[in-house]
Amino acid sequence: MFTLAHELAHIWFGVSAAFDLQNLQAANNDIEKACNLVAAEFLVPEIEIREIWQRVKNSNERFQALARHFKVSEIVAARRALDLTLITKDEFFAFYQNRIARENNNNSSGGNFYASQNYRIGRRFGESVIRATLEGKLLYSEAYRLTGIRGKTFSEFATRLGFRGDA
């Protein structure tokens, strides 16, 4: 969402510029700074975050609460708190490093390919494609193209969705 708001700001300003953030610090380019400010204010308005901050500032889940309220990532919420000097750089980077470490630990298993396909393709769409293929209403080549899954992987996906027999 932040990137989308940032890019919309470029359109509003009528100026494009290279995206350049190092250590999550604003770029030296004035237009990039302006676009970042516009995006931040659009997604997490200063007046509103300052109101909410008074209720959540002592919570261990303060960035999660802000993220839920504004529908942004925890990192965006924390970064906005830093930009508004609600927290220090040390607090931000401690949170940031902890968050990245948690993400790396959660991703260490490699995930479940077939479970991910339910989200990527959509379970209902996947079931419809498989059903149409099994009924002869859709060619396998077309089913492969629509789902991005081929051969034995397609058959296994069908089995995991509850279809028996050849798919």
For residues 11 and 92, membership in a common domain is answered with yes
For residues 83 and 42, membership in a common domain is answered with yes
CA dihedral 128, 130, 132, 136 (to 10 degrees): 180
Domain range for 156 is: 113-160
For residues 125 and 148, membership in a common domain is answered with yes
3-state secondary structure 122-135: HHHHHHHHHHHHHC
- Alpha carbon of 25 to those of 83, 93, 100, 124, 166: distances in Å? 10, 11, 17, 43, 54
- Reported pTM: 0.56
C-alpha 134, offset from chain centre: 35
111-138 confidence digits (pLDDT tens): 678 778 877 887 888 888 899 999 889 8
Asked if the structure places residue 100 within a domain, the reply is: yes
For residues 143 and 69, membership in a common domain is answered with no
- Alpha carbon of 54 to those of 62, 109, 129: distances in Å? 10, 38, 51
What is the band of 55 on the pLDDT scale with cuts at 50, 70, 90?
Answer: very high
Domain end call among 106, 128, 146: 106
CA gap 144, 125 in Å, rounded:
13
For residues 93 and 120, membership in a common domain is answered with no
For residues 92 and 144, membership in a common domain is answered with no
* 121: DSSP letter: I
Asked if the structure places residue 165 within a domain, the reply is: no
CA gap 119, 112 in Å, rounded:
11
For residues 75 and 145, membership in a common domain is answered with no
Domain count, the chain: 2
58-98 confidence digits (pLDDT tens): 998 999 999 999 998 888 899 999 999 999 999 999 998 88
Per DSSP, what are the bridge partners of residue 22?
25
For residues 49 and 34, membership in a common domain is answered with yes
Asked if the structure places residue 166 within a domain, the reply is: no
CA gap 72, 64 in Å, rounded:
9
